[in-house]
């Protein structure tokens, strides 16, 4: 029992659901079946009743017609009325099916008067009683009784016929006597007795059938009751199982999830049954475990995030600088190129141009075929294309054509190039110049051949070879096994010896490998390389690999690139060439040092610029002072870089009613621009001090002219030969509070002001301050504005309307600026400042800033 | 939960900061606003916020004066200066303050978010980095 219970609870919910559905379906189907069966029984019962009724009625018809006949015969005999004779014959006709049977004949008929009879009971079909009996489901025994009764009726009819004969012969007494005789009664008895017996039989038979039918109904009802009971018990069982399998685990799991959300760690792990809910709970716990793990990892990461961000930003900046330096060096020293997928050149390094003799312009867009040398076998390129198009890197040695028809050998590494989406976009190649090496290699290969060819004049040949070898800059030796056979003059010179024998004595070895520097860094040749003698190692890896060896002589390290080849002939001789690449290697480390120096210089420059920014900040006026003069005021000064070529000045003049504002946009931006701002500041200081010491009326237009001549003088721009061409555009405003008067003048840049909500634009004079070509005698235009009616005035540098942005990258423009001014000019200056800044930010989006921006707004 | 006080003389700027912060999906709430340093100081004493976002150039009491006054009361409440003032001198004078950061207007929301996360981290952990 215990085990069964356990099994039932472990059933999968899916299986369990199917079982429930099958069970419910079984009950429903059974009920439908029962309804059909009961309906059938009901129909049989109704038919049995109706049959019984019809049969008894028919038996009664037999009795009735017999009684009618007796009645009419007797009445005829007594009354001699022929009407009764007619009725008697009619009754006989109807009984035998020779006359139509009136409708409702077995009810009240003959006792009604003739008219009513005809009206209420019209004649129906002819139907003999005999045929009616045959059509009903009488049993054989019953039919026999009926037949007996019918047969016996002939006797009675015989008597009645005798009586009718007597009437017709006027012997009425005989007729009456015959119809009331003992014989007549006996005959009547013979008819009625089987009829009576038949009715009793019929009663018995039909009653039995009815009892059977009723019993079967009772039985079906019992079935229904039992199945209903099963249905109720089954559903109770289902409820209990579902409660245990689903409700309880879910309630438990909900509790655990709430605990988890509240970070309550008192977990009580409980697995219920091996069904889907059990699996779900298991999954929850494993999820909870992994979430807890992740959470602790996240917490840990969070704690370090800020540090990492700062560190990474610094790191990335440093790497960027290094990268750009490296790229420069790379371009200079590495023979590199890139092509698109069709082999069209998209990039070549400076080194590439130098070696090939083509210019940058001649190469870009051309096919790489341009440098292909006719000596190169097609198969090599075939092999290269097959390798790189299949996404692998190709290495090999290639002979290339120079522009002047010459050639050079390179050891090339070509690899496919991918973009960020990992799509193949082209190929890049990096090469090493191995022309010299190649020449010697080829030479070595041909050496032996030449010796054989020239055996006729061995002496001359030897001399020739010696000359040939000595003409090289390389160290060349021949080797047999581990023993050195011969060496060229350069080799002897390098080791400061007379002969190979001398070398063997001095280094106590027959092999040059004894002189290899065993402390050289990785990548340098050693005596043994991967279980191979160095010489065999070099020869077996001749293709595309540069071998380097370090040899220490005296106090200096020399670096050689090494290549070797087997000489033809049976004696297994090999020749090796050492090319001195010490200078090249040293140049590489010189590049590294130069990079460090550049970084240091950059850092120093950065510090200087920061200091310069600090100095320039000191020139910016304190806005608190300016604010005292006006109803409302704002100033934006945003240099593009740390320092800028924009500047603005605000000066209090001779009394508390007079002030001067100047907005200046000097040549360029960044450090050069900043230098010019310093100069302008110096001139401005001297001009302001002059004004303070005089009673003259201040005129902005005249001030601009003074600036112009001072700039030209200070920068020595007065004659044509001057190389300085600096200057500025800008606006000057003089305000007198007492007189409600504003005077402005402008070099180049517009001045915008509002009075009574109407925008007025003052165009700047088409003349800059300073610069070589400006007119020293130029008269600037002065504009006077009456401020009694309230005025809002703005001064911009062109950095604002020249800034590109928007979808098409077009400048912001003055039209847009006028619209913006019209929209915002009534707001507070603090709010307007926000609007100017954010409108520009939204317009610029990701575009780079192009110039310094200065805006001053004043409400009077 | 971070309680923030916003001080800026531009209503537009205060609205913009509120919008920016409400866009971040963290539990920050702006408990107070002030249109100058004077009101800002009152609000600070009243509300005791965890973080103050302040402009520099304001009437009545400037941002620099407000920072000075607050630092006399509380040397470790976080302050983020949000200003359009590109004055290197001012920035240098604020550099030594370990619980103060500077954001230039117009505000880059990415920068604002990183700084808010940093401040939140400090407050939650109670660590003074």
Residues A344 and A325 occupy one common structural domain:
no
Give chain B's contact residues with A (Cβ, < 8 Å).
8-13, 16, 57-59, 62, 84, 86-90, 92, 105-106, 114, 117-118, 121, 125, 129
User: What pLDDT was estimated at residue B128?
Assistant: 45
Is position A16 within any domain? no
User: What pLDDT was estimated at residue A457?
Assistant: 56
- CB atoms under 10 Å from CB of A50, counted, come to 10
Contact B121 A306 (CB under 8 A): yes
Q: In chain B, how long is the greatest CA-to-CA distance?
A: 36
Q: What percent of chain A has pLDDT over 90?
A: 24
How many residues can be counted in chain A? Answer: 860
Contact B90 A837 (CB under 8 A): no
Contact A305 B92 (CB under 8 A): no
Cβ atoms of A633 and A858 within 8 Å: the answer is yes
Cβ contacts (< 8 Å) between B57 and chain A: which residues?
Answer: 623
Q: Which of A66, A54, A93, A67 is nearest to A150 (CA)?
A: A66
Range of the domain at A765: 619-859
User: What pLDDT was estimated at residue A815?
Assistant: 94
Option in A306, A613, A828 nearest B88 (CB): A613
What backbone phi and psi angles, to 5 degrees, belong to A588? -60, -45
User: What pLDDT was estimated at residue A632?
Assistant: 92
Cβ contacts (< 8 Å) between B125 and chain A: which residues?
Answer: 303
Return the residue of A nearest to B115 by Cα: A306
Is position A256 within any domain? no
Is position A390 within any domain? yes
pLDDT one-digit tens code per residue, A614-669: 888 888 888 888 888 999 999 999 999 889 999 999 999 988 899 999 999 998 88
Q: Which residue is associated with the tokens 């602790």? A: A296
Cβ atoms of A548 and A524 within 8 Å: the answer is yes
DSSP string, A20-57: HHHHHHHHHHHHHHHHHHHHHHHHHHHHHHHHHHHHHH
pLDDT > 50? residue A1: no
Q: Any residues with CB less than 8 A from the CB of A566 and at least 6 apart, and which?
A: A539, A572, A573, A574
Residues A327 and A340 occupy one common structural domain:
no
Could you tell me the strand order of the sheet in which A407-418 lies?
A: A345-348, A335-339, A424-433, A407-418, A394-401
Contact B10 A831 (CB under 8 A): yes
The reply to whether A833 touches chain B by the CB within 8 Å rule is yes
**Distance between CA atoms of A247 and A249, rounded to whole angstroms?**
6
What backbone phi and psi angles, to 5 degrees, belong to A736? -120, 110
pLDDT > 50? residue A3: no
Residues A139 and A162 occupy one common structural domain:
yes
**Distance between CA atoms of B18 and A174, rounded to whole angstroms?**
139
Rg (CA), chain B: 13
Q: What is the mean pLDDT of residues A109-113?
A: 81
**Distance between CA atoms of A626 and A795, rounded to whole angstroms?**
15
Lowest-pLDDT range, A252-266, A436-450, A570-584?
A436-450
Range of the domain at B91: 2-125
Cβ atoms of B105 and B53 within 8 Å: the answer is no
Option in A309, A830, A837 nearest B114 (CB): A309
User: What pLDDT was estimated at residue A462?
Assistant: 62
Is position A251 within any domain? no
Q: Is A858 helix (H, G, I), strand (E, B) or coil?
A: strand
pLDDT one-digit tens code per residue, A636-649: 999 998 899 999 99
Residues A576 and A636 occupy one common structural domain:
no
What pLDDT band is residue A530 in, cutting at 50, 70 and 90?
Answer: confident
Residue A471's alpha-carbon distances to A462, A488, A660, A761, A779, in angstroms, are: 14, 9, 83, 83, 80
C-alpha torsion angle, residues A204, A205, A206, A209 (rounded to 10)? 120
The reply to whether A288 touches chain B by the CB within 8 Å rule is no
Q: Which of A399, A433, A467 is the last residue of a domain?
A: A433
Q: How far is A700 from chain B (nearest CA, A)?
A: 27
Cβ atoms of A213 and A48 within 8 Å: the answer is yes
DSSP string, A232-277: HHHHHHHHHHHIIIIIHHHHHHHHHHHHHHTT----------SSHH
What backbone phi and psi angles, to 5 degrees, belong to A136? -100, 155
Residues A428 and A313 occupy one common structural domain:
no
Option in A618, A830, A840 nearest B89 (CB): A618
Q: Which of A216, A246, A265 is the last residue of a domain?
A: A216
pTM for the whole thing?
Answer: 0.46
Q: Which two tokens stand for residue A595?
A: 């990079």
Is position A242 within any domain? no
**Distance between CA atoms of B123 and A72, rounded to whole angstroms?**
130
The reply to whether A647 touches chain B by the CB within 8 Å rule is no
Spell out a b/e string for A779-793, using b for 16 or more CB atoms within 10 Å of the CB, else e: ebebbebebeeebbb
Residues A682 and A767 occupy one common structural domain:
yes
Cβ contacts (< 8 Å) between B89 and chain A: which residues?
Answer: 614, 617-618
Alpha helices in chain B (DSSP H): 11-23, 37-47, 63-73, 88-94, 109-125
User: What pLDDT was estimated at residue A839?
Assistant: 94
pLDDT > 70? residue A458: no
Residues A364 and A316 occupy one common structural domain:
no
Lowest-pLDDT range, A157-161, A241-245, A786-790?
A157-161
Cβ contacts (< 8 Å) between B82 and chain A: which residues?
Answer: none
Q: What is the mean pLDDT of residues A117-143?
A: 82
Option in A614, A638, A835 nearest B89 (CB): A614
Residues A211 and A294 occupy one common structural domain:
no
The reply to whether A673 touches chain B by the CB within 8 Å rule is no
Q: In chain A, how long is the greatest CA-to-CA distance?
A: 195
Cβ contacts (< 8 Å) between B12 and chain A: which residues?
Answer: 827, 830-831, 834-835
Q: How far is A735 from chain B (nearest CA, A)?
A: 22
Contact B12 A613 (CB under 8 A): no
Displacement of CA A400 from its chain's centroid (Å): 48
Lowest-pLDDT range, A260-264, A533-537, A643-647?
A260-264
Q: Which of A371, A389, A381 is nearest to A335 (CA)?
A: A371
pLDDT > 50? residue B11: yes
pLDDT one-digit tens code per residue, A60-105: 887 888 888 888 888 888 888 888 888 888 888 887 778 788 877 7
| CATH code of residue B113 | 3.40.50.2300
Displacement of CA A761 from its chain's centroid (Å): 53
Residues A417 and A552 occupy one common structural domain:
no
Q: What is the mean pLDDT of residues A443-451?
A: 70
Prediction ipTM score: 0.88
Q: Is B4 helix (H, G, I), strand (E, B) or coil?
A: strand
Contact B86 A639 (CB under 8 A): yes
Q: How many structural domains is chain A composed of? A: 5
What is the DSSP-derived secondary structure letter of residue A716? T
Cβ atoms of A326 and A336 within 8 Å: the answer is no
Q: Is A125 helix (H, G, I), strand (E, B) or coil?
A: strand
Residues A623 and A738 occupy one common structural domain:
yes
| CATH code of residue A741 | 3.60.40.10
Spell out a b/e string for A399-437, using b for 16 or more CB atoms within 10 Å of the CB, else e: bbbeeeeebbbbbbbbbbbeeeeeeebbbbbbbbbbbbb
The reply to whether A620 touches chain B by the CB within 8 Å rule is yes
Q: Which two tokens stand for residue A759?
A: 């925008």
pLDDT > 50? residue A693: yes
User: What pLDDT was estimated at residue A201?
Assistant: 87
User: What pLDDT was estimated at residue A450?
Assistant: 67
pLDDT one-digit tens code per residue, A213-233: 889 889 989 999 999 999 999
Contact A833 B84 (CB under 8 A): yes
Is position A706 within any domain? yes
What pLDDT band is residue A2 in, cutting at 50, 70 and 90?
Answer: very low
Q: How far is B22 from chain A (nearest CA, A)?
A: 18
The reply to whether A841 touches chain B by the CB within 8 Å rule is yes
Is position A248 within any domain? no
pLDDT one-digit tens code per residue, A319-377: 888 878 777 877 888 888 888 888 889 888 888 888 888 888 888 888 888 888 888 88
How many helices (H) and strands (E) would you count in chain B? 5, 5
Q: What percent of chain A has pLDDT over 70?
A: 96
Q: How far is A614 from chain B (nearest CA, A)?
A: 5
User: What pLDDT was estimated at residue B125?
Assistant: 65
User: What pLDDT was estimated at residue A87?
Assistant: 86
Spell out a b/e string for B98-113, using b for 16 or more CB atoms within 10 Å of the CB, else e: ebbbbebbbbeeeebe
User: What pLDDT was estimated at residue A455?
Assistant: 61
Q: Which of A288, A272, A290, A238 is nearest to A27 (CA)?
A: A238
Q: How far is B10 from chain A (nearest CA, A)?
A: 5
Contact B10 A620 (CB under 8 A): no
Q: Any residues with CB less than 8 A from the CB of B21 and at least 6 apart, and which?
A: B4, B28, B30, B112, B116
Cα angle for residues A400, A406, A407 (degrees, 5° grid):
25
Residue A451's alpha-carbon distances to A456, A463, A472, A513, A759, in angstroms, are: 10, 11, 18, 27, 100
DSSP string, A730-768: EEEEEEETTTTEEEEEEESS-EEEEETTEEEEEPPBS--
User: What pLDDT was estimated at residue B129?
Assistant: 41
Average pLDDT, chain A: 85
Best of B10, B102, B122 to mutate (most A CBs within 10 Å, chain A): B10
Residues A303 and A373 occupy one common structural domain:
no
Cβ contacts (< 8 Å) between A617 and chain B: which residues?
Answer: 87-90
Residue A825's alpha-carbon distances to A744, A817, A833, A842, in angstroms, are: 20, 12, 10, 19
User: What pLDDT was estimated at residue B72?
Assistant: 93
pLDDT one-digit tens code per residue, B88-126: 888 888 888 888 899 989 998 888 888 888 888 777 765
The reply to whether A828 touches chain B by the CB within 8 Å rule is yes
Q: How far is B38 from chain A (nearest CA, A)?
A: 16
Return the residue of B nearest to A619 by Cα: B87
Contact B106 A841 (CB under 8 A): yes
Q: How far is A849 from chain B (nearest CA, A)?
A: 13
**Distance between CA atoms of A573 and B81, rounded to whole angstroms?**
81
The reply to whether A494 touches chain B by the CB within 8 Å rule is no
User: What pLDDT was estimated at residue A4?
Assistant: 45
What is the DSSP-derived secondary structure letter of residue A370? G
What is the SS3 assignment for A129-166?
Answer: HHHHHHHCCCCHHHHHHHHHHHHHHHHHHHHHHHHHHH
**Distance between CA atoms of A691 and A756, rounded to whole angstroms?**
33
Q: Which residue is associated with the tokens 């200091």? A: A611
| CATH code of residue A530 | 3.30.450
Is position A39 within any domain? no
User: What pLDDT was estimated at residue A470?
Assistant: 64
The reply to whether A411 touches chain B by the CB within 8 Å rule is no
Q: How many structural domains is chain B composed of? A: 1
């Amino acid at each position: 029992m215990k085990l069964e219970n356990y099994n039932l609870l472990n059933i999968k919910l899916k299986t369990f659901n199917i079982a429930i559905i099958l069970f419910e379906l079984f009950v429903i189907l059974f009920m439908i079946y029962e309804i059909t069966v009961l309906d059938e029984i009901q129909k049989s019962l109704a038919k049995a009743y109706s049959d019984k009724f019809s049969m008894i009625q028919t038996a009664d018809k037999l009795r009735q017609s017999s009684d009618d006949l007796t009645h009419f015969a007797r009445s005829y005999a007594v009354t001699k009325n022929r009407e009764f004779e007619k009725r008697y014959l009619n009754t006989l006709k109807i009984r035998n099916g020779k006359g139509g049977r009136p409708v409702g004949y077995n009810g009240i008929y003959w006792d009604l008067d003739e008219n009513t009879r005809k009206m209420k009971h019209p004649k129906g079909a002819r139907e003999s009683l005999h045929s009616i009996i045959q059509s009903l489901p009488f049993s054989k025994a019953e039919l026999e009784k009926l037949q007996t009764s019918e047969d016996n009726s002939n006797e009675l009819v015989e008597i009645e016929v005798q009586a009718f004969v007597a009437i017709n012969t006027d012997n009425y007494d005989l007729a009456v006597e015959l119809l009331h005789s003992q014989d007549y009664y006996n005959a009547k008895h013979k008819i009625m007795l089987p009829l009576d017996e038949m009715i009793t039989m019929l009663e018995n038979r039909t009653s039995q059938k009815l009892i059977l039918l009723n019993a079967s109904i009772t039985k079906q009802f019992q079935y229904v009751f039992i199945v209903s009971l099963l249905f109720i018990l089954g559903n109770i069982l289902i409820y209990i199982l579902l409660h245990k399998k689903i409700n309880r685990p879910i309630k438990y799991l909900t509790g655990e999830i709430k605990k988890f959300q509240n970070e309550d760690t008192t977990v009580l792990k409980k697995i219920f049954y091996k069904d889907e809910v059990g699996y779900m709970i298991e999954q929850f716990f494993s999820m909870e475990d992994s979430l807890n793990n992740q959470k602790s990892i996240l917490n840990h990461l969070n704690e370090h995030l800020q540090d990492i961000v700062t560190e990474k930003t610094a790191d990335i900046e440093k790497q960027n600088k290094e990268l750009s330096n490296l790229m420069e060096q790379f371009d200079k020293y590495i023979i590199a190129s890139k092509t698109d997928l069709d082999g069209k050149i998209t990039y070549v390094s400076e080194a590439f141009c130098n070696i090939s003799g083509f210019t940058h312009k001649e190469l870009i867009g051309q096919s790489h075929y341009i440098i292909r040398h006719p000596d190169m076998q097609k198969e090599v390129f075939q092999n290269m294309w097959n390798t790189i198009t299949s996404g692998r890197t190709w290495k090999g040695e290639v002979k290339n054509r120079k522009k002047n028809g010459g050639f050079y050998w390179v050891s090339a590494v070509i690899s496919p190039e991918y973009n960020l989406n990992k799509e193949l976009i082209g190929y890049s190649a990096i090469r090493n110049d191995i022309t010299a090496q190649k020449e010697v290699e080829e030479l070595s290969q041909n050496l032996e051949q030449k010796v054989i060819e020239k055996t006729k004049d061995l002496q001359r040949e030897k001399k020739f070879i010696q000359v040939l070898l000595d003409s090289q800059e390389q160290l060349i030796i021949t080797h047999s096994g581990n023993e050195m056979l011969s060496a060229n003059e350069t080799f002897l010179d390098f080791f400061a010896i007379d002969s190979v024998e001398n070398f063997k004595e001095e280094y106590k070895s027959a092999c040059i490998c004894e002189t290899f520097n065993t402390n050289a860094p990785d990548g340098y040749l050693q005596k043994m390389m991967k279980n191979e003698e160095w010489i065999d190692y070099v020869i077996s890896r001749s293709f595309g690999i540069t071998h380097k060896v370090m040899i220490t002589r005296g106090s200096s390290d020399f670096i050689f690139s090494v290549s070797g080849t087997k000489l033809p002939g049976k004696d297994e001789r090999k020749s090796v060439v050492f090319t001195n690449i010490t200078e090249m290697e040293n140049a590489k480390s010189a590049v590294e040092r130069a990079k460090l120096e550049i970084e240091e210089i950059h850092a120093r420059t950065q510090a200087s610029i920061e200091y310069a920014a600090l100095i320039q900040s000191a020139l910016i006026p304190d806005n608190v002072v300016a604010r005292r003069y006006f109803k409302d005021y704002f100033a934006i000064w945003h240099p593009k870089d740390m320092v800028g070529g924009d500047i603005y000045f605000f000066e209090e003049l001779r009394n508390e009613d007079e002030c001067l504002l100047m907005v200046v946009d000097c040549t360029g931006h960044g450090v050069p621009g900043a230098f010019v701002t310093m100069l302008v500041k110096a001139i401005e200081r001297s001009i302001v001090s002059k004004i303070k010491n005089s009673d003259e009326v201040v005129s902005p237009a005249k001030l601009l002219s003074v600036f112009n001549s001072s700039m030209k003088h200070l920068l020595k721009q007065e004659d044509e030969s001057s190389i300085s061409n600096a200057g500025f555009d800008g606006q000057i405003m003089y305000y007198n509070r007492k007189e409600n008067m504003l005077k402005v003048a402008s070099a180049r840049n517009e001045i915008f002001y509002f009075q009574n909500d109407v925008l007025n634009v003052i165009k700047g004079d088409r003349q800059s301050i300073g610069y070589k070509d400006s007119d020293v005698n130029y008269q600037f235009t002065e504009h006077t504005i009456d401020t009694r009616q309230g005025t809002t005035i703005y001064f911009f540098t062109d950095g604002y309307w020249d800034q590109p942005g928007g979808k098409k990258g077009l400048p912001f423009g003055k039209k847009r600026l006028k619209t913006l001014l019209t929209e915002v000019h009534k707001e507070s200056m603090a709010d307007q400042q926000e609007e100017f800044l954010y409108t520009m930010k939204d317009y610029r989006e990701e575009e780079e800033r192009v110039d310094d921006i200065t805006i001053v707004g004043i409400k009077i | 939960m971070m309680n923030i006080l916003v001080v800026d003389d531009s209503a537009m700027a205060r609205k913009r900061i509120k919008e920016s912060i409400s866009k971040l999906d963290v539990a920050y709430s702006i408990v107070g606003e002030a249109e100058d340093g004077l009101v800002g100081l009152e609000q600070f004493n009243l509300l005791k916020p965890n973080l103050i976002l302040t402009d520099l150039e304001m009437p009545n009491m400037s941002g620099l004066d407000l920072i000075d006054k607050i630092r006399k009361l509380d040397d470790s409440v976080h302050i983020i200066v949000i200003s359009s003032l590109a004055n290197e001198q001012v920035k240098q004078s604020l550099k030594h303050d370990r619980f103060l950061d500077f954001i230039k207007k117009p505000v880059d929301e990415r920068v604002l978010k990183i700084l808010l996360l940093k401040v939140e981290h400090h407050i939650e952990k109670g660590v003074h980095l």
